Structure formats: C-alpha cells, structure tokens
Structure 1
Amino acid sequence: MLVGYPAWDAFANFVDARRNGGLSRNYTQLLNFIASAITAVAVAVELGNSMNGVLVVFGLWAGIAGLFQLATAARRWKSNGAQWAMILSGAQSVVAGLFFVKMAGGADLVGIATVAPYAAFGAFYFLVAAVWLTVSDARKGALGSPSSDGAN
C-alpha cells in the first residue's frame, strides 16, 4: 500500500489529465504525476531502511500532492462546477502529510496502520468523485438528448 498508493495517484493524475486536454494543459497534474511517481520509487527504497523514513517521504508526498490537487480543483471550478470532493481530498492530504512528518519524528513506533486511515479516506474520495462525475455526465447527456425537450 505504501508504494501502491502514490503509484495509483500517479496513474490517476495521468489518466485524468489525458481526459482533460493532456498533461501539457494541466500543469498541476503533471507535477502531481511526477511527484507521485518519484514518491513510489522513494518509498520502495526507504522501506529497506526505516519506517520513520518511509513516513517522512509519504508525508511530504501527501502534503505536496494535496496542494497540487487543491490547485487543480480551483482551476476546474469554473469549467466543471463544484470540485468539493477534490478540495476536501486535497485539504485532507495536506493536513495528513504534516501529521505524518511530525509523527515520524516522534518516539512512537510507526507502521502501515499509521497511513491506513488516510488511504481509506483517499479511496472514498476517489469513489465519490467517480460517482459525481458519472451522474453529472449522465445529466448532461439527458439534457442534450432530443427526448429531454419534450419534442418526441
């Protein structure tokens, strides 16, 4: 999970950016893609050293990725409507990232259970965003169909 989450985030940013004009038109997602890919490798390397080190790398990534996510949501607000799920997810990532870095410097033992709730919330936000976009696209399609204007 510690390597898979940032790798999944890199993939998700790549796919989302491609569907919205490409990485060159979505600079925050390009940066998020790069940061997430680098983090997946860095976490894999750090796993052989120290869980506290892993938590620092993971926390820095969560904070940076959250900032990029917030910037993406702000940019999309006018064209795509309310981006509240992305904003909540980005803000949660920033706060969690700071928490992880602080926790890594403490004396308490850290492990995968430390980041599990963060990953669970992240999965929840992915699901909410997917459902929201699916419903929104279905509504747009229904509004644009010939039968929706009562002419049939």
Structure 2
Amino acid sequence: MANDTSRSRTDAGALVRYYFLRAGVAAAWVALAFTIARSNPVLAGALLVAYPAWDAFANARDAKANGGFRANIAQALNTAVSAAVALAVLVALQIDMRLVLGLFGAWAILAGLLQLVAGVRRWRAYGAQWAMVLSGAQSALAGGFFLKSATGPVASVITVVAPYAAFGAFYFLVSAILLAVKTRRRAETA
C-alpha cells in the first residue's frame, strides 16, 4: 500500500509540473497575442498555428507520461484533433479568417469535451480536478461562440482567441496549485 501511495504522489507531482508548464506556455502565448501579434499578422498567424500544435504536443507528452495512448484515449484523440487543426489553420490562414475562427470553434468544442473526459477520469485518481472539468466545459461553450462569430465579419482572430487562451492558462494554474496543495496534505497525513 505504501508503494501505491508513493507512486500516486510521484504521478501527482508530474501532473502538477505538467499543469504549471501548460499554464506558463499559455500565459506567454496570450502575452504575445495581446502585444506584438496584434499588429503583426505574420506573428499572429504563427501563433494561431502554434496554439493547437502545442496542444497536440502537450497531450501526446502527457499521455506518454501516464501509460501511453491506449491508457489515455481522450489525450490520444486530443493529440490527433489538435495536430489536424494546426495543419488546417495553416492552410485556412491563406483562405479566409472566418474559416480560421471556425476551425478554432470546432477545435475548442472537441478539445474541451476531451479535456472534460480526462479531467473526470483524473478526478477519480487524484482529486482536485474541478478546474480542468470546468475548463473543458467552458472550452466547448467558447467553441460555440467562435463558430457563431465566424459567420460574421472577423477583424482579428488572434484577439478573439487570446481571452480563451487566457482562461486556459488560468485553469491550468488553478489545477496545478490545487493538486500541489492536495498532494502536500496527503503526504503530511501519510
């Protein structure tokens, strides 16, 4: 039993570090989006491709660290969806910004639902996942907003997507802190 407890603490520690990394990268992305990329269309386009590409990489790394894709179907699907969206956004940037926003909408819905599934699964194993579950649900709702917004004129996709990314950074940060506190309390009582 002590071996399972120490393994759980190690896994929780890796998850805490992963959540902090996701929060930090998202915060940096948002900072770039709201500053330099606002007036630099090339950087804005690069950031719009990089966001789902980073999500694909992060989900793949997370799945690998937690038993592989077979043990983490939600992350495996999220990896595939995010990678496909990154490529689709790269192409859509040459066609129409409404298409880019529509792709982000569809991606936010799918990725949000997959994050919700992963959060619920991890809640059982680690607890302290309510922020991830809420983030997944809010992502799906934001996706609907993006899809609706894509039907009208779109001035700047980066400024529409950046608040969404900011909420993602916030939720990853909250999840990291909550899980770190819970893990520490478990260690102190063990």
TM-score band w.r.t. shorter chain: 0.7 to 0.9
Q: Structure 1 residue aligned with 2:180, among 93, 114, 134? A: 134
Paired AA for residue 32 in structure 1? N
- 1:31 equivalent in structure 2: 77
Aligned residue runs from structure 1 range 110-149, under 5 A: 110-144=156-190
Across the aligned residues of Structure 1 and Structure 2, the Cα RMSD in angstroms comes to 1.7
- Give the TM-score normalised by the residue count of structure 2: 0.69
CA displacement, residues 113-135 of structure 1 (integer Å, 9 cap, x when unaligned): 11111011111112222223333
- 2:155 equivalent in structure 1: 109
- Give the TM-score normalised by the residue count of structure 1: 0.85
Separation (CA, whole Å) in 2 of partners of 1:19 and 1:130: 17
Paired AA for residue 98 in structure 1? G
Superposed displacement of residue 100, structure 1:
0.3
- 8 Å CA contact 2:128–2:179 kept in 1: the answer is no
Paired AA for residue 9 in structure 1? D
Mean CA deviation greater in 97-106 or 8-17: 8-17
Q: Kindly name which structure, 1 or 2, has the bigger radius of gyration based on alpha carbons.
A: 1
Matched, 1:94 2:140: yes
Separation (CA, whole Å) in 2 of partners of 1:4 and 1:124: 19
Structure with more contact order per residue of length (Cα contacts < 8 Å, sep ≥ 6): 2
CA displacement, residues 62-101 of structure 1 (integer Å, 9 cap, x when unaligned): 0000010111112222221141111111011100001101
Q: How many residues align?
A: 144
Superposed displacement of residue 109, structure 1:
3.5
Identity of aligned residues (%): 56
- 8 Å CA contact 1:52–1:110 kept in 2: the answer is no
Separation (CA, whole Å) in 2 of partners of 1:108 and 1:46: 14
Paired AA for residue 151 in structure 2? G
- 1:21 equivalent in structure 2: 67
Separation (CA, whole Å) in 2 of partners of 1:51 and 1:106: 11
- 8 Å CA contact 1:67–1:91 kept in 2: the answer is yes
Matched, 1:9 2:55: yes
SS at match of 1:24: coil
Matched, 1:45 2:123: no
